[in-house]
Amino acid sequence: MFIEQIPAIFRNQRGLKWRKSHWEKKIYLTFDDGPIPEVTPWVLDLLDSYGIKATFFCVGENVVRNREVYEQILQGGHRIGNHSYNHLNGWHTEKQAYLDNIEKANEILHTDLFRPPHGWMKLCQKRAIRKKYKIILWDVITRDYNPKLPPERVLYNACHYVRNGSIVVFHDSLKTFHNLKLVLPSWIEFCLSKGYEFCLL
């Protein structure tokens, strides 16, 4: 489906990474919107139980509020990505204000990875951002945040669309936690049973 896996015609944009090599049986698990104490530690404990590393695209203001949780991500050997300071929608934000917000977050995060909140940004923003950051989008978005989707459907999406090189998006946020608790362990088990190796971006 279009909403879970963006067609190739849209993925051939210069300076955007949607998927990594399709030749290797590797996948790249990512989480957006954290860290928060109600969800992120649970995610970290689950990943640790499987020996899996992931990339966390953190919102700067959440890091400031939850320093201890952020330190847990770092101590776990996971990778950090920039998800702006205030989770701004690029389409609704003036160029310089958007760039300044990203840099404000990076004063804390110190990373070369960026993922635009909501997946949206203007062309002028993209051109400026890619001079400093690797812009990471996704091959599979699980829709774990959609309250209209039951966990069974979220799990189906995540399992059905994953493939070699997939960059997969979950969210460590309150609105996703119900789905996340029911879906993420089963999805990890599925991927391991198919022989996928979980890798960092």
Interval 82-118: pLDDT, tens: 999 999 999 999 999 999 999 999 999 999 999 999 9
Q: Which amino acid is at 119?
A: G
Residue with tokens 């979980």: 198
56: left (phi over 0), alpha (psi -120 to 50) or beta: beta
Q: Tokens 């920039």 correspond to what residue? A: 82
CB 171 within 8 A of CB 35: no
pTM: 0.94
* Domain assignment present for 6: no
Residue 147 confidence (pLDDT): 87
Is 35 a member of any domain? Answer: yes
Q: How many structural domains does the chain have?
A: 1
What is the C-alpha to C-alpha distance for residues 89 and 153, in angstroms, rounded to an integer? Answer: 27
User: Quick check: is 1 in a domain?
Assistant: no
Report the DSSP pairing between strands 140-141 and 26-32.
unpaired
pLDDT of residue 191 exceeding 50? yes
- Provide DSSP, the chain: -TTTS--HHHH--TTEE-B--TTS-EEEEEEES---TTTHHHHHHHHHHHT---EEEE-HHHHHHTHHHHHHHHHTT-EEEE--SS---GGGS-HHHHHHHHHHHHHHH--SEE--GGG---HHHHHHHTTTSEEE--SEE--TT-TTS-HHHHHHHHHHH--TTBEEEEE-SGGGHHHHHHHHHHHHHHHHHTTPEE---
Cα 148 to Cα 141, 143, 172, 181, distances in angstroms: 15, 10, 18, 16
The parent domain of residue 70 ranges over 17-198
**9 within a domain of the structure (yes/no):** no
Look at residue 15 in the predicted model and tell me its pLDDT.
75
Mean pLDDT of 172-185: 96
- On whether residue 27 sits in a domain, the answer given is yes
CATH classification at residue 34: 3.20.20.370
Question: Which residues, other chains included, contact 47 with Cβ-Cβ below 8 Å and sequence gap of 6+?
Answer: 53, 54, 76, 78
Q: What is the pLDDT of residues 36-71, one digit of tens each?
A: 999 999 999 999 999 999 999 999 999 999 999 999
